Chains A and B, each alone.
Chain A
């Protein structure tokens, strides 16, 4: 295999994982924006999403597209309920809210462990075959996932940008009190924001389920990457997150090909620390006033 093919292949693989990181990071940053809480249970919603998609496809014989849609709706409803029942007292309480989501993550992961067992399950791929893109070869199932991720992100963009509810959500992210003064019902926006955020994590889980295995422990890795993306891109900045996650995915993939995976992780962390020293507000952010 010559060098161009190798590099091209790594870049394409990196883009696929980068999109996964992006879905995770966008949901995470949305929840933080609305509630000011670091959501440690984000990984468990990713895991639950993967399980829902797995059961929809293998037990109910539903097509993949509707499985992903069902996953999102269920995660939104479940997230709404969790926010309302458990996290309501911890809104805008950074420290206690974070500890509460650690508790929530422990509960969800261990309930899943009791219900589904620790063994990884594998889900059939969505489509078979490969696609030739220029000088690289990509499995069609990966392209499928890429298309889905981009579609989900585009839908989110349209929702946040052009709908009344989306605008209300962004207003609450910027300033709750002013938003409330403008007649936005913040009491509904909190659970909605949390629900959409964890819904995105669940969709990421559902999309990745056919590519990787499904088990109660799969959430930890993507959560860590979402943290790194959020730090690099600047908390709350969606364009920053997009750039950071694609960069992270591609550089990990390249470093994993040419160096060892461990070396890749160390390089990423070193880069992260340098970024925090040089540009603490993120890749694309303007400096804070």
Chain B
């Protein structure tokens, strides 16, 4: 029996090593791809990994915001305004966009996170709609429905990320940073507090944790990450408009998170990896794609509530219980 356990343990670590190698290979592949379209997809996947990672952090506290798209948009518009009007360098604009999104989330969260969970959902939804309307109604600053075009490409220390492959390097750094941050965060006491709050808010509160403060922290950080993702997206695509950040985007992020998995750091990675390229399969049939998304969402919730990532986790749990 001992031998079997050892063997299983070995096999597990071999598998894990293979999985990590495969992941590194996937990350490196876009540098060698000749097809610009695949590199473009890889950039979008990386940005989605980061943004959904931020959403995962909020969701881990037991609250699911329905206006994540608005914070992506706020970050994007703030960064673009800073670089194009105030002529800030790219990095400062991106930091500004991040802080702007995080600050607004903190203000909003301070009010609504004291209430029952359902109010959080309703208000974030209404807030996202309001942000979109303000962007549409304030053409002098946001360009209104026409949006803002001709956003300069990202540049750091004189190096311009003006090709897709170069930008991919930047997006990959962002995605890896967010995932590593989440991984480390959930090993810290604050990270455990987040899990405790989700598990049983009343017990967490009784144990001396401030549920409000922890949820507020997660909401601000998660929205800040969304803002950073939005800032990078704006400088990558070169164009933003209020319709880029509507409810459909918020819902798409939730679909990625739920299908990928809410309880694991790998959930956002798997969700973004699987769902970002999916529209290409349904090219010219957007409605079929959304029906498929909806059905997948319901089926995953019903039969695999931990998402695709739980398939990986279940393996190791099964083994551990022998």
> Contact residues of A with B, CB < 8 Å?
32, 38, 86, 89-90, 94-96, 98-100, 102-107, 109-111, 113-114, 220, 224, 227-228, 230-231, 235, 260, 262-263, 265-266, 269, 272-273, 276-277, 280
Q: Are B126 and A269 in contact (CB under 8 A)?
A: yes
B window 227-277: CB within 8 A of A: 247, 251, 254, 258
How many whole Å from A114's CB to the nearest CB in chain B? 5
CA distance in complex: A235, B118 (Å): 9
A40 to B293, CA, bound (A): 15
B298 near A110: Cβ-Cβ < 8 Å = no
Contact between chains at B62 and A95 (CB < 8 Å) = yes
Identify B126's interface contact among A90, A106, A224, CB under 8 A.
A224
Contacts of A90 on B, CB cut-off 8 Å? 301
Please tell me if the beta carbons of A106 and B121 are within 8 angstroms of each other in the complex.
Answer: no
A107 and B123 in contact (CB under 8 A), knowing A89-B302, A95-B64, A269-B130? Answer: no
Given A106-B251, A113-B287, A273-B123, 10 further pairs, Cβ under 8 A: A95-B117, A100-B297, A102-B251, A103-B301, A104-B294, A106-B294, A110-B286, A235-B116, A262-B138, A276-B111
Cα of A126 to Cα of B118 in the assembled complex, Å: 38
- Chain B at the A interface: mostly helix, strand, loop or mixed? helix
How many angstroms between the C-alpha atoms of A266 and B288 in the bound complex?
A: 35
Question: What's the Cα separation between A67 and B175 when bound, in Å?
Answer: 54
- Interchain residue pairs with CB less than 8 A apart (7): A99-B254, A99-B297, A103-B295, A103-B296, A104-B298, A231-B119, A235-B116
Q: Is the CB of B111 within 8 A of A273?
A: yes
Closest chain B residue, CB of each to CB of A95: B64
Taking a contact as CB atoms under 8 Å apart, the answer to whether B118 and A110 are in contact is no
Return A288 CB to nearest CB of chain B, in Å. Answer: 9
Closest to A41 in B: B294
CA separation between A272 and B129, bound complex, in Å? 14
B93 to chain A, nearest CB (A): 26
The residue from B126, B136, B138, B286 contacting A228, defined by CB atoms under 8 A apart: B126
Known contacts A89-B302, A106-B294; A266 and B134 CB within 8 A of each other: yes
Q: Which of A95, A114, A228 counts the most B-chain CB atoms under 10 A from its CB?
A: A95
Q: How many residues from B make CB contacts under 8 Å with A?
A: 42
CB distance from B258 to the nearest CB of A (A): 6
- Closest Cβ of chain B to A26, distance in Å, is 16
The reply to whether B125 and A227 form a contact with Cβ atoms under 8 Å apart is yes
Q: With a CB–CB cut-off of 8 A, which chain B residues contact A220?
A: 247
The residue from A38, A94, A106, A260 contacting B297, defined by CB atoms under 8 A apart: A106
- Hey, which chain A residues are within 8 Å of B126, CB to CB? 224, 227-228, 231, 269, 272
Give complex CA distance A86, B298 in Å. 8
> Are A265 and B133 interface neighbours, CB within 8 A?
yes
Query: For residues 156 through 212 of chain B, which have their beta carbon under 8 Å from a beta carbon of chain A?
Result: none
Q: Which 7 A-B pairs have the closest CB atoms?
A: A262-B137, A106-B294, A103-B297, A107-B294, A103-B294, A110-B287, A110-B290
Q: Are A32 and B297 in contact (CB under 8 A)?
A: no
Contact A99 B133 (CB under 8 A): no
- In the complex, the answer to whether B130 meets A114 with C-beta atoms within 8 Å is no
Q: With CB as the reference atom, state the residue of chain A lying closest to B118.
A: A38
Question: CA of A104 to CA of B138 in the docked complex: distance in angstroms?
Answer: 34
Contact of A262 among B114, B136, B258, B294 (CB under 8 A): B136
B119 and A276: CB pair below 8 A? yes
| B297 and A110 contact, CB distance less than 8 A | no
Q: How far is the CA of A11 from the CA of B118 in the complex (A)?
A: 31
Q: In the complex, which of the residues A96, A227, A269, A280 contacts B114, with contact meaning CB atoms closer than 8 Å?
A: A280
**Chain A min CB distance to B228 (Å):** 25
- State the Cβ distance, A39 to closest chain B Cβ, in Å: 11
A100 and B137 within 8 A (CB): no
- Asked if A260 meets B121 with Cβ closer than 8 Å, knowing A102-B297, A104-B294, A106-B290, the reply is no
CB of B68 to closest CB in A, whole Å: 13
Whether a CB of chain A sits under 8 angstroms from the CB of B291 is: yes
Q: List the B side residues contacting A103 at CB < 8 Å.
A: 293-298, 301
Task: Annotate B302-316 by CB proximity to A: 1 below 8 A, 0 otherwise.
Answer: 100100000000000
Known: A95-B117, A260-B137. A230 touches B122 (CB 8 A): yes
Does B115 touch A at the CB level, under 8 Å?
yes
How many Å from the CB of A260 to the closest CB on chain B? 7
B127: CB under 8 A from chain A? yes
Does B123 lie within 8 Å of A272, measured CB to CB? yes
